[in-house]
Structure 1
């Protein structure tokens, strides 16, 4: 397995970058995506932060603004949270 540093897309789509670089979109996806273990770790940290903020009494909208995600992401993180 190769390790690589993620290349930022700077707001461009994978197709736009592929056209500019003259490569297949799958190549751009490989260049710009985090390794799976890094992605899963970051996602779990975000879900934990969402749960912590909800315990303080913040609304879904306020949590979404704080974390930088959609309200739907907040809903899913809380819906799928294990019961304490």
Structure 2
């Protein structure tokens, strides 16, 4: 697996630039640096669990956002999605 996919940070080069350097298509460049789906889903689930756990401890959206280094909007979206998925069950 590519080191860029494991780094979990934004790449400094776009897919178009990488494709040009590699002499390949943009699609191939994206595929080469993409994080495996299973790892992405596991990381997303861990993030959801952490947000929910902090909210259950009584933290406010702003406090959760600061603790996790994400925006308050992201906290709200995660909690909204969790509530929505629980109502569907």
TM-score normalised to structure 2 length: 0.68
Q: Give the structure 2 partner of residue 78 of structure 1.
A: 79
Structure 1 stretches lacking a partner, 5+ long: none
- The root-mean-square deviation of aligned C-alpha atoms, in Å, is 2.2
Instruction: State the aligned residue count.
Output: 79
Q: Give the structure 2 partner of residue 7 of structure 1.
A: 3
State the alpha-carbon separation in 2 of the partners of residues 52 and 23 from structure 1: 44
More moved, 26-35 vs 6-15: 6-15
State the alpha-carbon separation in 2 of the partners of residues 57 and 42 from structure 1: 23
Structure 1 runs, 4 residues or longer, greater than 4 Å off = none
State the alpha-carbon separation in 2 of the partners of residues 31 and 51 from structure 1: 33
Tell me, yes or no, if the aligned pair for 1:17 and 1:28 is still in contact at 8 Å: yes
Structure 2 stretches lacking a partner, 5+ long: 5-9
